[in-house]
Amino acid sequence: MDFSNLTIGYDAKRAVCNNTGLGNYSRLVIDVLSEEDHHPYLKLYTPDPSRRNNRLDPLLKREGVELTGPKGILWKHLNALWRVSGGITSQIKTDGVALFHGLSNELPLDIPKAGIPSVVTIHDVIFHRQKDNYKPVDRLIYDFKWRHAIANATRIIAISECTKRDIIELYHADPDKIDVIYQGCHPVFCEPVTPADIDRVSRTYNLPKRYIATVGTIEPRKNQLQAVKALPYLDNDIKLVIVGRGREPYASRVITEARRSGVEDRIIRLDGVPLSDLPAIYAGAFAASYTSRYEGFGLPVIEALNTRTPVIAAKGSCLEEAGGTGAIYVDPDNVGEFVEAAKTIAAHGDIALRMASEGNEYVRRFSRANLTSGLLNSYSRAIEEFGRVARIK
């Protein structure tokens, strides 16, 4: 299908406001499609265009990418309502958008009134699987939004087979309506990391010679406590580098456990690390840890393997799907399994090299090219299916 004469609309709130997770995915979609030859015109809808994330700025300089917000004084004052209601829907219709893509689990509630096909990306259903981490009212709101988006979308994009299974189980979605499209990671992780790069970040952050790196928000689901509890059973020169902002009270629990176990001086916490430094932090580690209890995809696993760093990951959810043979998988509640995995990687260079090589080869499937073709194929199917149903009616 020729997309060059079409306008695709996007719910770009996360691309504008978020530095992690949903924001990174949203910007990645905009990035790969705006680089495509004969790409569609990309119209990015956000409640408040003035609150722009500087990571989005380079994409807005590309031809055929436009950021837009609510039109009219009323909707500018009610911009949160505009995003989920008739405000954005009528604007989409007026703008001549050919297809609308909800990049972060939701669509405007009345999107069928736009009279165009729609696609929604469902990243995960964590609020169903990890209920204790969410307030009951938040779970109700998320479930309401997810349910309507899944029912109203012409097609659904799941970021992993695990997420697809969850959507089918929890929302009884038609499997034929779901496209599994892996997202890949930022291209900075695909560039070679040199010894000079590793030396630079080592000096910048005062990193030790031997360490395990774990990247992600410090929260119960991410399970950083498992690695902390394993430290006393590993060689004394091995430290744990935790990269990410902390959420209380869990972040304090991590430090309390480190203090109780006598390993507080072996914990290095880093926050606000530039994206450009993360590949060398991974590459300087002898292993990366990501024993999250539940994920929709597990992006840090892909990031680490792209830098040829073996991974210790949790069994269950999608992490085996993300890491292939580049990781050792452990029970997220079994500290002993984590200790054995870390000792194996640290003591057996041949195993570590094999994991690094096989993992790096495995993650090539999570490429920008595959993401681009997957998105365009899903859009084509949505447009064709919507047109076919409209002709029948």
Taking the alpha carbons at both ends of the chain, their separation in whole angstroms is 23
69 neighbors 47 (Cβ within 8 angstroms): yes
If one compares 74 and 46, the residue with the highest pLDDT of the two is 46
Q: Do residue 298 and residue 374 come from a single domain?
A: no
Average pLDDT over residues 289-310: 93
| Integer Cα distance of 106 and 350 in angstroms | 46
- Does residue 208 sit in the same domain as residue 357? yes
CATH number at residue 346: 3.40.50.2000
Q: Quick check: is 216 in a domain?
A: yes
pLDDT on residue 271:
93
What pLDDT sits at residue 42?
97
Tokens at 343, concatenated: 């000792």
Based on the fold, state whether residues 77 and 191 are members of the same structural domain: no
Do 165 and 234 belong to one domain?
A: no
| Domain assignment of residue 135, yes or no | yes
Position 392 scores a pLDDT of 67
How far lies 296's CA from each of 41, 166, 324, 335, 345, in Å?
29, 10, 16, 23, 26
Residue 19 has what pLDDT?
79
Residue 215 lies in a domain: yes
Bigger pLDDT: 280 vs 365: 280
> Which residues are CB-neighbours of 362 under 8 A, at least 6 positions away?
305, 323, 324, 325, 326
CB 117 within 8 A of CB 92: no
Binned at pLDDT 50, 70 and 90, residue 391 comes out as low
Residues 38 and 175 in one domain: yes
Q: Quick one: what percent of the chain has pLDDT higher than 70?
A: 99
* Domain contains 98: yes
Tell me, what amino acid is at 256?
A: T
d(CA 107, CA 10): 10
Q: Is residue 333 part of a domain?
A: yes
C-alpha–C-alpha distance, residues 282 and 143, integer Å: 35
* Banded model confidence at residue 187, pLDDT cuts 50, 70, 90: confident
Q: Is residue 2 part of a domain?
A: no
Other Cβ atoms closer than 10 A to 15: 28
Residue-wise pLDDT tens digits, 312-345:
999 987 899 999 999 999 999 999 999 999 999 9
Residue 389 has pLDDT above 80, yes or no: no
Looking at the structure, do residues 122 and 201 belong to the same domain, yes or no?
Answer: no
Taking 70 as the threshold, does the pLDDT of residue 56 lie above it? yes
- Residue 159 included in any domain: yes
| Number of domains making up the chain | 2
Produce one character per residue of 366-380: b if its CB has 16 or more CB atoms within 10 Å, e if not: bebebbbebbbebbe
Regarding whether 212 and 98 lie in a shared domain, the answer is no
The answer to whether residues 352 and 227 belong to one domain is: yes
| Residue 113 resides in a domain | yes
The verdict on 163 and 276 lying in the same domain is no
Give the pLDDT of residue 10.
98
Instruction: Spell out the residues 6+ positions from residue 31 whose beta carbon is closer than 8 angstroms to its own.
Output: 59
Q: Which two tokens stand for residue 86?
A: 């008739």
Residue 390 has pLDDT above 70, yes or no: no
Across 171-193, average pLDDT = 93
Q: What is the pLDDT of residue 393?
A: 60
> Based on the domain organization, do 361 and 372 belong to the same domain?
no
pLDDT value, residue 237: 96
Q: Do 80 and 18 share a structural domain? A: yes
pLDDT tens, residue by residue, 188-244: 998 999 999 999 999 999 999 999 999 999 999 999 999 999 999 999 999 999 999
Task: List the domain range (segments joined by +) for residue 176.
Answer: 7-184+367-388
Convert 184-231 into a string of H (helix), E (strand) and C (coil). CCCHHHHCCCCHHHHHHHHHHHCCCCEEEEEECCECHHHCHHHHHHHH
Same domain as 194, residue 178: no
Q: What percentage of the chain exceeds 90 in pLDDT?
A: 80
Averaged confidence pLDDT in the chain: 93
How would residue 183 be classed by pLDDT, with cut points 50, 70 and 90?
Answer: confident
Tell me which of 296 and 379 has the higher pLDDT.
379
Per-residue pLDDT, averaged over 74-80, amounts to: 89
Task: For residues 62-82, give the mean pLDDT.
Answer: 91
Kindly indicate the confidence band of residue 20, based on its pLDDT and cuts at 50, 70 and 90. Answer: confident
